């Protein structure tokens, strides 16, 4: 997941996470940044045994932000030099994801700045501010998720993602493409979110304030997800705010029940993990939106940048080893989905429509298969398993 990477704006099919470009901007040879999910890289290289035991506990399903004890089967392996070396390398891989993500972020910001300086405010109307706003919420949610896990490098990546989206939103406000009241409210939320996350990372934020912030992003994420999914298929579906409104009521009720003790311990954990998962699902919806756009308008794929798709595949692929290594199912799900269905999926579409060469396609395929194979082999080796399927089983279901 990490910078970290994606949600279509209503009827625009735009990407919201800053590490990914929007399809509409691709058609105009533009790139929008994707963080999280794109989000999202993870680089935390401390090697103390206490730190390793805290950070490498397998986490599964909706409990991805809940600490789990290390499984006993590989306790001795975790003290080995090889294990600590792979810990360090996976962290470096995630940190390296900053490079392709930054290459995706900068062109749109520079282009917007050039249009603003030239007085061409109309050009910025092509950037959907509502889509960017939803993406900002997704990145703030993922930032809070990784702050709880104390994953330092991915926190930096997600923070840069939030800042890059906010820069674009600021440019839209300057071009009067975004209403001023909405921009002011967004600025307040971003400022508060960054401050809360910073102080919580340092352990200096009151737990009650942090719980309030978590409730806020949970309600926001749950409200946005069904609305964005519904809006993707407009006008084939009637335009409506009903999905978002229903989800908002359900989210408010769930949060109130969790905070008033009306839910079981398992239910409270479920609600606690929703903000991270809804942000990941928003991020995962981007490939669906892109494929849907390709299906409706096959000619539009000619406007996609093969280099941008390759960067998206590489950036998210670099985070897969770390997600598997620390057994973070949520992070792995988002990163793997973006790697396979967004980056590589669009490369496959471009090859089928003959907009890229066979050599480019084969090189991308060979690189991806080799990377995933190496990741699974190495992870199983450092954990002392004979089959890479064991690592995937632990990732999905936790230790046994």
Instruction: Give the tens place of pLDDT for each residue, 114-125.
Output: 888 988 888 777
pLDDT at residue 277 in the model: 83
What is the tens place of the pLDDT at every residue in 292-331? 766 777 766 666 678 888 998 998 899 899 999 988 888 8
C-alpha span between 376 and 383 (Å, rounded): 11
Residue 342: helix, strand or coil by DSSP?
A: helix
C-alpha span between 194 and 259 (Å, rounded): 24
* Alpha helices, DSSP H, located in the chain: 23-27, 49-55, 81-96, 98-117, 129-149, 152-174, 180-201, 207-232, 242-259, 265-272, 274-296, 306-317, 320-325, 329-337, 344-352, 358-383, 388-397
Enter the tokens of residue 256. 């109130």
Backbone angles phi, psi at 3, to 5 degrees: -50, 25
Lowest-confidence segment of 48-57, 152-161, 372-381 by average pLDDT: 48-57
Contacts for 49-57 with beta carbons within 8 Å, 24 or more apart?
Answer: 49/78, 49/79, 52/78, 52/83, 52/84, 52/87, 53/78, 55/149, 55/150, 55/151, 55/326, 56/87, 56/325, 56/326, 56/327, 57/326, 57/327
Enter the tokens of residue 322. 């770390």
For tokens 């309030």, name the residue.
212
pTM: 0.70
Q: Which residues pair with 40 in a beta bridge?
A: 3
pLDDT at residue 265 in the model: 82
What is the tens place of the pLDDT at every residue in 127-147? 667 767 777 877 788 888 888
Lowest-confidence segment of 38-47, 316-325, 326-335, 360-369 by average pLDDT: 38-47
């Amino acid at each position: 997941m990490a910078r970290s990477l994606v949600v279509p704006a209503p009827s625009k099919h735009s990407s919201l996470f800053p590490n990914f470009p929007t399809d509409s901007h691709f058609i105009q040879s533009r790139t929008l940044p994707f963080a999280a999910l794109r989000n999202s890289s993870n680089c935390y290289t401390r090697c103390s045994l206490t730190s390793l035991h805290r950070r490498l506990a397998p986490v599964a399903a909706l409990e991805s932000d809940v600490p789990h004890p290390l499984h006993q089967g590989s306790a001795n392996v975790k003290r080995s030099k090889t294990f600590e070396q792979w810990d360090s390398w996976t962290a470096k891989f995630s940190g390296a994801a900053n490079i392709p993500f930054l290459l995706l972020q900068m062109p749109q910001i520079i282009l917007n700045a050039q249009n603003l300086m030239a007085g061409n405010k109309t050009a910025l109307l092509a950037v959907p501010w509502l889509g960017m706003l939803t993406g900002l919420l997704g990145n703030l949610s993922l930032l809070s998720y990784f702050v709880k896990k104390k994953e330092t490098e991915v926190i930096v990546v997600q923070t840069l993602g939030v800042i890059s989206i906010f820069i674009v939103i600021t440019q839209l406000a300057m071009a009067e493409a975004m209403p001023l009241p909405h921009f002011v409210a967004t600025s307040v939320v971003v400022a508060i979110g960054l401050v809360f996350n910073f102080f919580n990372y340092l352990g200096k934020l009151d737990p009650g304030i942090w719980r309030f912030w978590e409730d806020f992003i949970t309600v926001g994420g749950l409200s946005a997800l069904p609305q964005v999914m519904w809006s993707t298929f407009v006008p084939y579906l009637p335009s409506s705010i009903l999905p978002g409104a229903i989800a908002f009521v359900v989210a408010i009720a769930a949060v109130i029940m969790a905070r008033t003790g009306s839910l079981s311990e398992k239910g409270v954990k479920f609600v606690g993990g929703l903000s991270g998962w809804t942000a990941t699902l928003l991020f995962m919806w981007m490939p669906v939106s892109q494929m849907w756009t390709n299906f409706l308008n096959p000619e539009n794929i000619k406007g996609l940048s093969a280099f941008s798709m390759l960067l998206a595949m590489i950036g998210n692929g670099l985070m897969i080893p770390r997600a598997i290594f620390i057994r973070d199912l949520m992070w792995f799900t988002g990163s793997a989905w973006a790697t396979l269905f967004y980056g590589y999926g669009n490369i496959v579409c471009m090859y089928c429509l003959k907009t890229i060469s066979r050599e480019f396609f084969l090189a991308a395929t060979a690189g991806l298969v080799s990377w995933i194979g190496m990741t699974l082999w190495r992870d199983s080796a450092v954990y002392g398993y004979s089959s890479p399927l064991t690592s995937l089983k632990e990732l999905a279901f936790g230790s046994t």
